[in-house]
Amino acid sequence: MNIHEYQAKSLLRDFGVAVPEGVLATTPEEAERAASELGGVIVVKAQIHAGGRGKGGGIKVVKSPAEAKQAAQDMLGMTLVTPQTGREGKRVRKVYVEAGSDIARELYLAVLLDRENENFAVIASTEGGMEIEIVAEKTPEKILTVNADPNVGLAPYQIRQLGFGLGLDAPQVKKLEVFVKGLYRLFVEKDASLAEINPLVVTSEGELVALDGKLNFDDNALYRHPDSASMRDPDEEDPRERAANEIDLAYVGLDGDIGCMVNGAGLAMATLDMIQVCGGSPANFLDAGGGADKEKVKEAFKLILRDEKVKAILVNIFGGIVRCDLIAEGVIAAAKDLGITVPLVVRLQGTKAKEGRKILAESDLDITSAETLIEAGEMAVAAAAGTH
Amino acid sequence: MAILCDRNTKLLVQGMGRMGSFHAKLSLEYGTQVVGGVAPGKGGSEIEGIPIFDTVALAVEATGANASVIFVPPPGAADAILEAADAGLDLAVCITEGIPAIDMARAKSAMRASSMRLVGPNCPGLVTPEQCRIGIMPAQITKPGPVGVISRSGTLTYEAVDQLSRLGIGQSTCVGIGGDSVIGTTFIDALALFEADPETKGIVMIGEIGGSAEENAAEFIQSNMKTPVTAFIAGQNAPPGKRMGHAGAIISGGKGKASDKIAALNRAGVPVAESPGVIGKTFADHVPGLAR
C-alpha cells in the first residue's frame, strides 16, 4: 500500500527524521494561510501517488502567500500527468505547502526489503533527485548498499560507511546516523517494504533534511497496523481494484476486451499470456482464489462486468480441491442472476471437470465450453472478435 | 526415489483448523503417514483419527515425525516455522498465504542455525506420486515417473503436471516453492536436489514475474546441471508496478520482467514454452522418450 508524501513526512517526523515544516491544504485559501504561517520561500506540491511530479507542473516554488494561493488554485482539480502516472494522469485533490529549503547537495537514501539476500538493504547515492533505477543502470558505482540482518539490525559502522562514502564530513555523518537510524526503525516498526528519501538534502548550513518521502507498506502486515491502513486514500486507487480488495479478490485492470476469471494467481497470469498468444487482449487479471465457490464466482462476474470494454469473458478453473461441477453451477447461476449478455467461454479442468462440462452443455445459456488452455484462449479471442 | 518426501516420511500437521484437518485427511487417504497434529490447548484429543499434541516437540517425541506441514494463519505462521525447526524436523512445508515479509526475513535468518529445510510459504506443497502428499495439491492428477516439477505457483503447477500426465510423462516429485518474496527452498535448491536424484531424468520449472530467482536458476543450470530442464514464465504481459496476486509477483524498478527471465533461461540452453498451453509439449519435444 502506498501513502501520500504529507503522510510519509508526518511518520518520518515521528521517527526523528528531519523534514521541512509543512501544512496540507485542500483549497487555495488554506494554501495561502499555510504559506503566510510558514513565511519565506514556499513550495507547493501536488499530492498524488506517483513520482516525477515536477515534470508535470505538480511542484511550484513561490515567494508569497498570494503566489501560493495561485499555485494551489492551478493544481487543485487538475489532472497531473507525470512519467509515472500513465497517459490518463491523476487528479490532484490535495496540495502540501512546505517551507523551502536551501539546497547545497541532493542525495538519495532508502531502506528496502532485499529479496535476493533475504534481509534489509540500506541504499545511498550521491545522485539525489534522480530516479534511482536510472542511476543503477547508468552509473552503478554511484550506488552504495549495506545489508542488515533482520535479527541483528543496522550497525553504526554501516551508516558510517555510507556517510563517508557519500563524501559527508564528520559532523554530517553524525547527523546521518540519527537520520538513517530513524528511517530504519520506521521501516521495521511499520512493516514497510520501501522507505525512500529522494532527495535527501544537505543544506548550505550542513543540515540534513528529507525533501521528499515515499513509503510503501507490506500489504500482508497491514492487519497489525490499523494506523497505517487508515492512511489508505481510496481516491488514488482504481475503483475496480478497490472493490475487489473489499471482497478479497485479487484484481488488476488492463486495457483489453476479454474479461478473465481464474482460480490461482499463477494460472491467472498464464491465462493472460494465453490470450495474448492467441492474438487477443485481456481486460483484467482476476484471481478468484484457490477456494473459489459459487458466491465468489458471482462477485467476480460483477467486477468484470463493471468494465465496459469487456466483449467476452473467459473463465478458467483448474479444479484441484475446488470441484468443477460446483463451479459450473455457480457460473450458470451468476450468468442468469446478472443477465450476462457478453459471450462466455468456460474452461474447466481437473476434479469433476467432465461433470462440470456436462452441466454447462445442458444449460440453456450461450456458454462455450473449452477443454484445454489453448482451446480456451482461441475461443475467447474469437468470441471477443464476434466470430465465434 | 524422489526428493524431499516419500513413503517413509512421517508427517505432522501444524494448525488443525478447517483447512488443516481437511487436507490432513486427504493426505492420509493418499497413503501419507500423517502421524500427528499440533494444536496448542487441544493436546490429547483426536481430529480425523489423528492424535493431537500441544507442541511440535511433544508430537515429535511421541510419534518420531520428521516433517511438518503448516496451516497456521499468518500472524503465527513464522513462529510455527521456528517451532518446527527447534523440534529438529528435517522438513517443514508452509502453506500459509499472507505472512508479513519481515516475519519471514527474520525466520529465515534465525533458521540458519538449523538443518531443517523449509518449503514455502504461500505454496501448494509437495507430492511424490503414489507415495506422499504434503499440502493441498490434487494428487490424483499426478503420475509416478521421471520428471521433477518446480513451481512458484499453485494451480499453474496443476496445469503443468496435468499436461505432463496426459502426455504419459510421470513425475518424480512435484514441488511448489511458493509465491512470496521471501521463501525457504528456492529454484536453485530444488534443482540441486533433482540433479542429485538418479531417477529424475528431466525437470519442468515454472517461474513468474518478480525478483530474480529465475535468472539465478538459469546461471545455476548452465554451470551445474546435466539433467535437462524446460521452463515456462507466467506474466509476460503483466503491467509494471502491479502485484499480480502473489506477494512476490511484481515488476518493480524495471526488475523482475518475464522477458529478462526468458532471455536468461534461453541463454542457459533452457527451452521456454511459448504459451502455458504447451508446457508439457515443450518438455516432451526437448526430452523425448520419457512417456509411458
Query: Are B94 and B155 part of one and the same domain?
Result: no
Query: Are B115 and B152 part of one and the same domain?
Result: no
Give residue B81's pLDDT.
Answer: 98
Residues of chain A with pLDDT under 70: 290-291, 387-388
Note whether A356 contacts B: Cβ–Cβ < 8 A: no
Give residue A290's pLDDT.
Answer: 66
CB contacts under 8 A, A 31-90 vs B, are: none
Q: What is the DSSP letter of B239?
A: P
Number of domains in chain B: 2
Note whether A147 contacts B: Cβ–Cβ < 8 A: no
| Contact yes or no for B235 and A269 at CB 8 A | yes
CA distance B201 to B286: 12
Q: How far is CA A225 from CA A190, A219, A235, B74, B77, in A?
A: 7, 10, 21, 14, 18
Cβ-defined contacts of B15-18 (< 8 Å, 24+): B15/B39, B15/B70, B15/B71, B15/B72, B15/B73, B15/B80, B15/B96, B16/B42, B16/B47, B16/B50, B16/B52, B16/B71, B17/B71, B17/B73
| Contact yes or no for A320 and B124 at CB 8 A | yes
Q: Where in the sequence is the domain holding B175, given as residue range(s)? A: 142-286
Residue of B nearest to A84 (CA): B241
Which region among A47-61, A233-247, B8-22, B83-97 has the lowest average model confidence (pLDDT)?
A233-247
B171, B80, B157: which is closest to B118 by C-alpha?
B80
Note whether B265 contacts A: Cβ–Cβ < 8 A: no
CATH architecture of A21-100: 2-Layer Sandwich (3.30)
pLDDT (tens digit per residue) in A351-387 = 888 999 999 999 888 899 999 999 999 999 999 998 6
Give residue B193's pLDDT.
Answer: 98
Of B85, B119, B153, which one is at a domain's C-terminal end? Answer: B119
Give residue A323's pLDDT.
Answer: 85
| Contact yes or no for B181 and A120 at CB 8 A | no
Note whether A316 contacts B: Cβ–Cβ < 8 A: no
Check which CATH number belongs to the domain holding B179 and give it. 3.40.50.261
* Peptide bond preceding A199 in cis form (omega within 30 of 0): yes
Give residue B2's pLDDT.
Answer: 92
| Contact yes or no for A132 and B151 at CB 8 A | no
- Domain A238-384, CATH among 3.40.50.261, 3.40.50.720, 3.90.45.10, 3.40.50.2000: 3.40.50.261
Task: Give the gap in angstroms from C-alpha A142 to the nearest C-alpha of chain B.
Answer: 17
Q: What is the DSSP letter of A236?
A: G
Contact A177, A156 (CB under 8 A): yes
Task: Give the gap in angstroms from C-alpha A137 to the nearest C-alpha of chain B.
Answer: 10
Q: How far is CA B259 from CA A5, A41, A232, B262, B274, in A?
A: 33, 47, 33, 5, 11
Give residue B242's pLDDT.
Answer: 85
Contact B57, B68 (CB under 8 A): no
| Contact yes or no for A269 and B208 at CB 8 A | yes
| CB contacts, 8 Å: A250 with chain B | 243-245
CA distance A124 to A216: 18
CA distance A344 to A173: 63
Which of B95, B102, B252 has the highest number of chain A CBs within 10 A, making it the mutation to test binding with A? B102
Residue of A nearest to B135 (CA): A321
| Contact yes or no for B155 and A320 at CB 8 A | yes
CB atoms within 10 A of CB A341: 9
Task: Give the gap in angstroms from C-alpha A140 to the nearest C-alpha of chain B.
Answer: 14
pLDDT (tens digit per residue) in B40-56 = 999 999 999 999 999 99
Closest by Cβ to B155, choosing from A116, A119, A290: A290
Q: Residue B3 domain-assigned?
A: no
Domains A1-20+103-237 and A238-384 share a fold: no
| Contact yes or no for A264 and B181 at CB 8 A | no
pLDDT (tens digit per residue) in B246-285 = 888 888 877 899 999 999 999 999 999 999 999 999 999 9
Whether the CA torsion B118, B124, B128, B130 is positive or negative: it is: positive
Note whether B120 contacts A: Cβ–Cβ < 8 A: no
| CB contacts, 8 Å: B220 with chain A | none
pLDDT (tens digit per residue) in B151-199 = 999 899 999 999 999 999 999 999 999 999 999 999 999 999 999 999 9
| Contact yes or no for A290 and B159 at CB 8 A | no
| Contact yes or no for B154 and A290 at CB 8 A | yes
| Contact yes or no for B244 and A223 at CB 8 A | no
Closest by Cβ to B159, choosing from A224, A272, A373: A373
| CB contacts, 8 Å: B235 with chain A | 269-270, 272-273
Catalytic residue among B10, B23, B143, B246: B246
For chain A, the domains span 1-20+103-237, 21-100, 238-384
pLDDT (tens digit per residue) in B195-240 = 999 999 999 999 999 999 999 999 999 999 999 999 999 999 898 8
Give residue A352's pLDDT.
Answer: 86
Note whether B259 contacts A: Cβ–Cβ < 8 A: no
Q: Which residues pair with B94 in a beta bridge?
A: B70
Task: Give the gap in angstroms from C-alpha A31 to the nearest C-alpha of chain B.
Answer: 32
Check which CATH number belongs to the domain holding B91 and give it. 3.40.50.720
Q: A74: burial class by Cβ within 10 Å (0-12, 13-18, 19+)?
A: middle
Q: A157: burial class by Cβ within 10 Å (0-12, 13-18, 19+)?
A: exposed
Q: Which helix (H) or strand (E) holds B137?
A: none
Give residue A387's pLDDT.
Answer: 60
Alpha helices (runs of H) in A261-372, residue ranges in sequence order: 265-277, 294-305, 324-338, 353-362
Contact A222, A285 (CB under 8 A): no
Whether domain A1-20+103-237 has CATH 3.30.70.20: no
Note whether A354 contacts B: Cβ–Cβ < 8 A: no
Q: Which residues of A are catalytic?
A: 108, 196
Q: B115: burial class by Cβ within 10 Å (0-12, 13-18, 19+)?
A: exposed
